[in-house]
Amino acid sequence: NAGVMQNPRHLVRRRGQEARLRCSPMKGHSHVYWYRQLPEEGLKFMVYLQKENIIDESGMPKERFSAEFPKEGPSILRIQQVVRGDSAAYFCASSPDWNGETQYFGPGTRLLVL
C-alpha cells in the first residue's frame, strides 16, 4: 500500500506566478489535510477536505490560496500570485475517517519563491 504521495517535491516560482501542489492520499483514505511549515517552525493546519467537499478551511489565508479534492484525481493546493512569504514546506496528510484516526503524512513539497 503506497503511502501519501506529493508532487512536485521541490518547486521554484518567481513572485507573481502560480504554484500548484498535488497530493494523492493513501489507498482507502478519503480525508485529506494540508499543513504549512515555515522555516524553523512547526506545522500549521491550513485546510481539511473530503472528496468534493471542503470541511474546514479555517487555516487558509483568505486570498490567493485555494484547495480542492475532486471526485477523481489528487487533491490540489493552489497558490496564486506567489510572494516570498509563501516559501515553505507544504505537507499533505490523509486518514481513513475523521474520528480521530491517525493522519499519515506525505514527504512534503518545498516551495521556494524567488
In whole angstroms, the minimum distance from the beta carbon of 46 to other proteins comes to 9
Q: Which residues contact residue 62 at a Cβ distance below 8 angstroms, ignoring those fewer than 6 apart?
A: none
Q: How far apart are CA 60 and CA 34, in angstroms?
A: 9
Q: What are the phi and psi torsion angles at 53 (to 5°)?
A: -135, 140
Q: How far apart are CA 50 and CA 25, in angstroms?
A: 11
Of positions 93, 94, 111, 113, contacts other proteins by CB under 8 A: 93
Q: Which of 10, 16, 52, 56 binds other proteins (CB under 8 A)?
A: 56
Q: Is 75 in the site for other proteins (CB under 8 A)?
A: no
Q: Nearest distance from residue 91's CB to other proteins, in Å?
A: 6
Q: How many residues bind other proteins (CB under 8 A)?
A: 28
